[in-house]
Amino acid sequence: MADPQIERFLYREALLMDEHRFDEWLALWAEGGSYWVPCNADDIDPTRQVSIIYDDYARLRQRIDRLKSGSVQALDPLPRMRRLISNIETDASAADEVTVGSNFILCIARGVDQQLWSGRSIHRLRHSGEGLKITHKKVLLINNDQEMPLLQFLI
Amino acid sequence: MPTAPIDFNALIDGAHISGRLYRDPAIFERELNAIWYKVWVYLGHASELPNAGDFVRRQIGRQPVLMVRDDDGRINVFFNRCRHRGNLVCRREQGQVDAITCPYHGWTYARSGELIEPTFEEGYAADMRREDFGLTRVPRVAEYRGLVFASVSPDGIALDEHLGPVKEFIDLFMDLSPTGEIDLGAGTQKLRYKGNWKMLPENSLEGDYHGPFIHRIAFELHAKATGLSMSSLYQNEVPDVIRYLPGGHMVEDYRGASMAPAQGEPSAGRAAYVAAMERAYGKDKARQLTTTIAPLVYVFPNLLYIMTHIRRVQPVSVDETYVYYQPMLLKGVPPEINSGRLRFHEFGFGPAGFISPDDIEIMERNQIGIQASGNDRSFIGRGLHRDRISGDGGASGFTMDECHLRGMWQHYRALMQAPADLSP
Closest alpha carbon within chain A to B186: A49
Tell me the torsion sign for CA atoms B90, B95, B99, B103: negative
Of the candidate ranges A22-31, A48-57, B129-138, B247-256, the one whose mean pLDDT is the lowest: B247-256
Asked if the Cβ–Cβ distance from A50 to B186 is below 8 Å, we say yes
Closest alpha carbon within chain B to A51: B346
Predicted structure pTM score: 0.96
Quote the domain boundaries for residue A31: 4-141
C-alpha angle B321-B305-B378 in degrees, rounded to nearest 5: 50
pLDDT score, position B292? 86
pLDDT score, position A92? 81
The answer to whether the CB of B227 falls within 8 A of the CB of B268 is no
B424 — pLDDT class (breaks 50, 70, 90): very low
Give the pLDDT confidence of B228-260 residue by residue, as tens digits.
776 666 677 888 899 999 999 999 998 876 565
Give the pLDDT confidence of B20-60 residue by residue, as tens digits.
999 999 999 999 999 999 999 999 999 999 999 999 999 99
Asked if the Cβ–Cβ distance from A147 to B217 is below 8 Å, we say no
Distance CA B381, CA B224 (A): 34
Q: Distance from A137 to chain B by nearest Cα, in Å? A: 16
Give the pLDDT confidence of B173-218 residue by residue, as tens digits.
999 999 999 999 999 999 999 999 999 999 999 988 999 999 999 9
* Res. B263: pLDDT tops 90: no
CATH label of the domain that carries residue A98:
3.10.450.50
Domains within chain B, CATH numbers bracketed: 42-144 (2.102.10.10), 165-417 (3.90.380.10)
Distance CA B198, CA B378 (A): 13
Asked if the Cβ–Cβ distance from A146 to B190 is below 8 Å, we say yes
Residue B63 falls in which region: left (phi positive, over 0), alpha (psi -120 to 50) or beta: beta
pLDDT score, position A77? 93
Considering the domain boundaries, does residue A25 fall inside one?
yes
pLDDT score, position A37? 98
Considering the domain boundaries, does residue A40 fall inside one?
yes
Domain count, chain A: 1
Considering the domain boundaries, does residue A149 fall inside one?
no
Share of chain B above pLDDT 90, in %: 87
